[in-house]
Amino acid sequence: MKYKEIIKETQDSLSKLSEQLNNIEIKEKYEFEIQSHEFYEFQDKSKLNSITANFSPPLIYTIDITDSYKLQELLKKYQNRPHGLKTSKFNYRNKEVPVQNTLYVGSTIKNFYSRLKQHLGLIGKNLYSMHLSRWDEQMIYTIKVTVYKIKNIKDPEIIITQNIVEVIEQQIWDKLQPVFGKKSGQL
Protein backbone atom coordinates (compact mmCIF):
# COMPACT_ATOMS: atom_id res chain seq x y z
CA MET A 1 0.00 0.00 0.00
CA LYS A 2 1.31 3.44 -0.91
CA TYR A 3 0.67 5.65 2.08
CA LYS A 4 1.57 8.91 0.33
CA GLU A 5 -1.18 8.21 -2.21
CA ILE A 6 -3.66 7.64 0.59
CA ILE A 7 -2.77 11.00 2.18
CA LYS A 8 -3.10 12.74 -1.20
CA GLU A 9 -6.47 11.07 -1.86
CA THR A 10 -7.66 12.12 1.60
CA GLN A 11 -6.59 15.71 0.95
CA ASP A 12 -8.43 15.65 -2.40
CA SER A 13 -11.54 14.28 -0.73
CA LEU A 14 -11.51 17.00 1.95
CA SER A 15 -10.94 19.68 -0.71
CA LYS A 16 -14.01 18.45 -2.60
CA LEU A 17 -16.02 18.51 0.60
CA SER A 18 -14.87 22.07 1.27
CA GLU A 19 -15.87 23.11 -2.26
CA GLN A 20 -19.32 21.56 -1.81
CA LEU A 21 -19.79 23.47 1.45
CA ASN A 22 -19.40 26.76 -0.45
CA ASN A 23 -22.82 26.06 -2.01
CA ILE A 24 -24.59 24.92 1.17
CA GLU A 25 -26.80 27.04 3.36
CA ILE A 26 -28.97 26.51 6.39
CA LYS A 27 -32.01 27.85 4.62
CA GLU A 28 -34.89 27.53 7.03
CA LYS A 29 -35.48 27.08 10.71
CA TYR A 30 -38.61 25.71 12.36
CA GLU A 31 -39.32 25.44 16.07
CA PHE A 32 -42.06 23.68 17.95
CA GLU A 33 -42.61 22.55 21.53
CA ILE A 34 -43.98 19.30 22.91
CA GLN A 35 -45.13 18.73 26.49
CA SER A 36 -43.93 15.41 27.91
CA HIS A 37 -47.48 14.36 28.76
CA GLU A 38 -48.31 14.73 25.04
CA PHE A 39 -45.59 12.35 23.77
CA TYR A 40 -48.00 9.43 23.33
CA GLU A 41 -50.36 11.56 21.26
CA PHE A 42 -47.64 11.49 18.61
CA GLN A 43 -48.21 7.76 18.08
CA ASP A 44 -50.95 9.03 15.78
CA LYS A 45 -49.14 9.81 12.57
CA SER A 46 -51.51 12.64 11.67
CA LYS A 47 -50.66 14.57 14.86
CA LEU A 48 -46.88 14.53 14.35
CA ASN A 49 -47.22 14.65 10.58
CA SER A 50 -49.12 17.92 10.85
CA ILE A 51 -46.02 19.38 12.50
CA THR A 52 -43.31 17.62 10.48
CA ALA A 53 -44.94 17.63 7.01
CA ASN A 54 -42.88 20.63 5.88
CA PHE A 55 -39.58 19.08 6.96
CA SER A 56 -38.02 17.38 3.97
CA PRO A 57 -34.52 16.02 4.55
CA PRO A 58 -31.67 16.62 4.78
CA LEU A 59 -32.23 18.15 8.20
CA ILE A 60 -30.30 18.93 11.34
CA TYR A 61 -32.29 19.17 14.54
CA THR A 62 -31.76 20.04 18.17
CA ILE A 63 -33.88 19.01 21.13
CA ASP A 64 -33.77 21.22 24.22
CA ILE A 65 -35.49 21.08 27.57
CA THR A 66 -37.20 24.45 28.03
CA ASP A 67 -37.22 24.39 31.82
CA SER A 68 -33.56 24.53 32.88
CA TYR A 69 -34.47 23.90 36.51
CA LYS A 70 -35.94 20.50 35.47
CA LEU A 71 -32.80 19.34 33.70
CA GLN A 72 -31.16 17.91 36.84
CA GLU A 73 -34.32 16.00 37.75
CA LEU A 74 -34.47 14.55 34.23
CA LEU A 75 -30.81 13.50 34.44
CA LYS A 76 -31.46 11.68 37.73
CA LYS A 77 -34.26 9.75 36.09
CA TYR A 78 -31.97 8.88 33.19
CA GLN A 79 -29.38 7.45 35.57
CA ASN A 80 -32.08 5.16 37.02
CA ARG A 81 -33.41 4.06 33.59
CA PRO A 82 -34.18 0.39 32.84
CA HIS A 83 -31.16 -1.73 31.95
CA GLY A 84 -30.94 -3.01 28.40
CA LEU A 85 -32.52 0.06 26.84
CA LYS A 86 -30.33 1.37 24.00
CA THR A 87 -30.37 5.00 24.96
CA SER A 88 -28.16 7.71 23.59
CA LYS A 89 -24.77 8.16 25.17
CA PHE A 90 -24.81 10.41 28.22
CA ASN A 91 -22.16 13.11 27.82
CA TYR A 92 -21.27 13.67 31.44
CA ARG A 93 -18.37 16.02 30.90
CA ASN A 94 -16.10 15.58 33.90
CA LYS A 95 -19.18 15.07 36.08
CA GLU A 96 -20.00 18.74 35.71
CA VAL A 97 -23.51 20.08 35.56
CA PRO A 98 -24.47 20.68 31.91
CA VAL A 99 -24.27 24.35 30.99
CA GLN A 100 -26.79 24.17 28.15
CA ASN A 101 -30.37 22.98 27.97
CA THR A 102 -29.62 21.10 24.76
CA LEU A 103 -30.46 17.45 25.17
CA TYR A 104 -29.58 16.24 21.67
CA VAL A 105 -28.20 17.33 18.30
CA GLY A 106 -28.93 15.08 15.34
CA SER A 107 -29.49 14.89 11.63
CA THR A 108 -31.38 12.84 9.12
CA ILE A 109 -31.28 12.43 5.38
CA LYS A 110 -34.25 10.06 5.44
CA ASN A 111 -37.20 10.33 7.82
CA PHE A 112 -37.44 12.99 10.50
CA TYR A 113 -40.86 11.78 11.66
CA SER A 114 -39.51 8.34 12.63
CA ARG A 115 -36.38 9.74 14.23
CA LEU A 116 -38.39 12.10 16.43
CA LYS A 117 -40.70 9.25 17.50
CA GLN A 118 -37.60 7.26 18.51
CA HIS A 119 -36.37 10.12 20.70
CA LEU A 120 -39.79 10.47 22.32
CA GLY A 121 -39.64 6.74 23.13
CA LEU A 122 -42.57 5.70 20.97
CA ILE A 123 -40.81 3.29 18.58
CA GLY A 124 -37.53 1.48 18.03
CA LYS A 125 -36.42 0.53 21.51
CA ASN A 126 -33.47 -1.34 19.99
CA LEU A 127 -32.18 1.78 18.23
CA TYR A 128 -29.92 4.34 19.87
CA SER A 129 -31.96 7.43 20.71
CA MET A 130 -33.05 9.25 23.84
CA HIS A 131 -36.28 7.20 24.37
CA LEU A 132 -37.49 9.90 26.76
CA SER A 133 -40.86 8.41 27.67
CA ARG A 134 -39.29 5.00 28.47
CA TRP A 135 -37.36 6.37 31.46
CA ASP A 136 -38.65 9.85 32.40
CA GLU A 137 -41.17 8.32 34.86
CA GLN A 138 -43.94 10.57 33.51
CA MET A 139 -42.12 13.68 34.65
CA ILE A 140 -43.77 16.87 33.38
CA TYR A 141 -41.48 18.98 31.20
CA THR A 142 -41.40 20.65 27.79
CA ILE A 143 -38.99 20.03 24.94
CA LYS A 144 -38.31 22.46 22.12
CA VAL A 145 -37.41 20.93 18.78
CA THR A 146 -35.55 23.17 16.33
CA VAL A 147 -35.21 21.91 12.76
CA TYR A 148 -32.75 23.32 10.22
CA LYS A 149 -33.18 22.65 6.51
CA ILE A 150 -29.91 22.20 4.62
CA LYS A 151 -30.02 23.33 0.98
CA ASN A 152 -27.71 23.71 -1.97
CA ILE A 153 -28.16 27.38 -2.89
CA LYS A 154 -26.64 27.02 -6.36
CA ASP A 155 -28.64 24.01 -7.46
CA PRO A 156 -31.47 22.73 -5.21
CA GLU A 157 -31.65 19.55 -7.32
CA ILE A 158 -28.20 18.38 -6.21
CA ILE A 159 -28.45 15.73 -3.53
CA ILE A 160 -26.69 16.76 -0.34
CA THR A 161 -24.62 13.90 1.00
CA GLN A 162 -24.51 12.55 4.55
CA ASN A 163 -20.89 13.78 4.80
CA ILE A 164 -21.95 17.39 4.23
CA VAL A 165 -24.79 17.14 6.75
CA GLU A 166 -22.51 15.54 9.35
CA VAL A 167 -19.84 18.22 9.02
CA ILE A 168 -22.43 20.93 9.71
CA GLU A 169 -24.00 18.87 12.51
CA GLN A 170 -20.58 18.49 14.16
CA GLN A 171 -20.15 22.26 14.31
CA ILE A 172 -23.55 22.67 15.93
CA TRP A 173 -22.73 19.81 18.34
CA ASP A 174 -19.47 21.52 19.32
CA LYS A 175 -21.24 24.82 20.01
CA LEU A 176 -24.17 23.38 21.98
CA GLN A 177 -22.47 20.46 23.79
CA PRO A 178 -25.66 18.39 24.17
CA VAL A 179 -26.30 16.27 27.24
CA PHE A 180 -27.06 13.13 25.19
CA GLY A 181 -25.76 11.58 22.00
CA LYS A 182 -22.40 11.34 20.37
CA LYS A 183 -20.66 13.61 17.96
CA SER A 184 -21.38 12.33 14.48
CA GLY A 185 -18.84 11.55 11.79
CA GLN A 186 -15.11 11.54 11.92
CA LEU A 187 -14.01 15.13 11.25
Domain positions in the chain are: 25-176
Question: What percent of the chain shows pLDDT beyond 90?
Answer: 29
Tally of residues, the chain: 187
User: What is the value of pTM for the model shown?
Assistant: 0.86
Would you say residue 19 has pLDDT above 90?
no
Q: Which pLDDT does position 84 carry in this prediction?
A: 67
Cross-strand partners of 64? 102, 144
Predicted pLDDT at 91: 57
Predicted local distance difference test score (pLDDT) of residue 94: 42
pLDDT tens digits, residue range 124-145?
777 788 889 988 999 999 999 9
Q: Residue 170 contacts by C-beta under 8 Å, 6 or more apart in sequence?
A: 183, 184, 185, 187
What integer pLDDT is reported at residue 98 of this predicted model?
Answer: 57
Question: Is 50 exceeded by the pLDDT of residue 27?
Answer: yes
